[in-house]
Structure 1
Amino acid sequence: MIDPVPPTSAGLLLHHRGPAPRLLLAHTGGPFWARKDARAWSVPKGLVEPGESHEQTARREFVEEIGVPVPTGPLVELGAFRYTSGKTVVVLALEVPADLVGSDEDPACEDLTQRAVSTVEVTWPPRSGRVVVVPEVDRAAWWGYDEAREKLVAGQVPVVDALVAALAR
């Protein structure tokens, strides 16, 4: 039997250098993740659809999950990051000006339910048969490199080092 190809996702990591470099991460939505912080954050990302490029997916998913347009600027591919599950996430980075943080266009938001964001159905409590609709991500925030390494899901922690290496070039 041939193993099915593991899914591939693509995501968009906004970052700024500023006096204190920061990365924009999204917190996974839903009741299971509500009280979790460490390893509960991610680059906004989603599955690559047939015929879609990594860039198209990353841009689409950013809008769907964060609820605002992608800022303008060139994207830099940081690489493909494989989870222990076999899933691969291709991450593209977009540098934004530091003064975006706190401005009217800042994509960070303490409660993304205030915006039109994508939702998913989950069974909650587990095995209850009760289905609830929750946002894919419930908030987005800026984190420094060290904080991001603690917040990110384990399979995405290497993204921080890949960004640092790309910025050093």
Structure 2
Amino acid sequence: MTDGTKRTKRSAGLLLFRRTPDGPEVLLGHMGGPFWARKDAGAWSVPKGEYPPQEAPWDAARREFQEELGVPPPEGTALPLGETVQANGKHVTVWALEADFDPADMVPGTFTMEWPRGSGRTADFPELDRVAWFGLDAARVAVVKGQAVFLDRLAAQL
């Protein structure tokens, strides 16, 4: 913004869940790109993305799901999991949706960045390099720390 004010970054996403005999599982995406390539714990995320002020968060969550996983979001009744503010200041709003998804069906969207940094070369990387189902305890270890609250909120609603 040209007036010197800082615009709050907002992100919205869909957290798929399914019920299993061992308890609920959630679908998380491993963040793509060179920074996350060798990380596991704390490198998984709800499929989500930023949206402009004029876009409704629910619409953004559905659009981002399709952009990141390459398939339309499933239909169903969404459970609102609310909003949280991550350590980087980004406001994240998430809905949970009960649905099954085969991780092999993912066709990841990509982003372009300079890599290696300072080299002047650009490369394309997947936004998410893979997705997987996690039980809630394993998901709490895998997910970015600021998003664990959504797992707790989902567990409370189930």
Q: Same fold (TM over 0.5)?
A: yes
Q: 1:138: how far off?
A: 0.8
RMSD: 1.7
**Residues 16-55 of structure 1 aligned to structure 2 (within 5 Å):** 16-20=18-22, 21-55=24-58
Secondary structure at the residue paired with 1:6?
Answer: coil
Matched, 1:84 2:75: no
More deviation, 83-92/119-128: 119-128
For structure 1, the residue ranges without an aligned partner over 5 or more in a row are: 101-105
Deviating 4+ runs (over 3 angstroms): none
Amino acid at match of 1:155: G
2:149 corresponds to which of 136, 141, 158: 158
Matched, 1:122 2:113: yes
**Residues 139-150 of structure 1 aligned to structure 2 (within 5 Å):** 139-150=130-141
Amino acid at match of 1:7: K
For structure 2, the residue ranges without an aligned partner over 5 or more in a row are: none
Q: Distance in 2 between matches of 1:108 and 1:81?
A: 27
Amino acid at match of 2:12: A
Q: Distance in 2 between matches of 1:75 and 1:149?
A: 21
Q: Against the structure 1 CA distance between its residues 23 and 55, is the aligned structure 2 distance closer, same or farther, given a 3 Å change threshold? A: same
Q: Counting strand residues as a fraction of each chain, which structure ranks higher?
A: 2
Q: Distance in 2 between matches of 1:81 and 1:148?
A: 17
Secondary structure at the residue paired with 1:26?
Answer: strand
Identity %: 49
Q: 1:83-106 CA deviation, whole Å, 9 max, x = no partner? A: 11111110111012xxx3xxxxx2
Q: Distance in 2 between matches of 1:161 and 1:79?
A: 11
More deviation, 153-162/119-128: 119-128
1:136 corresponds to which of 127, 132, 139: 127
Q: 1:55-77 CA deviation, whole Å, 9 max, x = no partner? A: 11111110110111211201111
Matched, 1:59 2:54: no
**TM-score normalized with structure 2 length:** 0.90
Residue 4 of structure 1 is matched in structure 2 by 6
Give the number of equivalent residue pairs: 155
Q: 1:127: how far off?
A: 2.1
